[in-house]
Amino acid sequence: MSYLADTNVLLRSIQNTDSMRDLAARAIETLLNRGETVFVLPQNHIELWAVATRPVVNNGLGLSAEAAAQELEKLKQILALRLDLPAIFLEWERLVAQHKVMGKQAHDTRIVAAMNVHGIMNLLTFNTGDFKRFTHISVFHPVDIK
């Protein structure tokens, strides 16, 4: 099986002070040790960069550009990247219309659209509730990975 790692799992796995760091890192490590492929999208890298380089006072990690680049490079060594394809936008349009998606949920819908296009049916995320409307995918919280 293959999984897509949501950005919140990636961010927690690199933030030493996060109480969920070990849980996030262990979930990814467990999947990889089981021989599963854990994917990420360009969207995950962009979101991680934005939060990692944002100041702590603005709910970011406060990393320098160099430190953020190092963290991304580490993730690129262990997680498989699936690139954006034109079909993802068309699938996103279909999903937001079908599910009447509004506001920030449009970003999560793009993740599901990319999963659909790439044939990835499992999502690893701390925000399981954000994906309930998409019943065709399986959503796992890191605590579920054993």
The CATH number of residue 109's host domain is 3.40.50.1010
Residue span of the structural domain in which 41 resides: 2-144
- DSSP state letters, 87-100: HHHHHHHHHHHHHT
Number of domains in the chain: 1
Tell me the per-residue pLDDT of 67-96, one tens digit each, with 9 for 90 and over: 999 999 999 999 999 999 999 999 999 999
Interval 4-21 mean pLDDT: 96
On whether the CB atoms of residues 102 and 130 are closer than 8 A, the answer is: no
Tell me the per-residue pLDDT of 43-71, one tens digit each, with 9 for 90 and over: 999 999 999 999 999 999 999 999 999 99
User: What predicted TM-score, i.e. pTM, was given to this entire model?
Assistant: 0.96
- DSSP state letters, 122-144: EEE-S-GGGGTT-TTSEEE-GGG
Tell me the per-residue pLDDT of 137-146, one tens digit each, with 9 for 90 and over: 999 999 999 9
CA distances from 86 to 35, 71, 74, 91 (A): 29, 28, 28, 9
Strand 2-5 and strand 37-40: the pairing is: parallel
Interval 115-130 mean pLDDT: 98
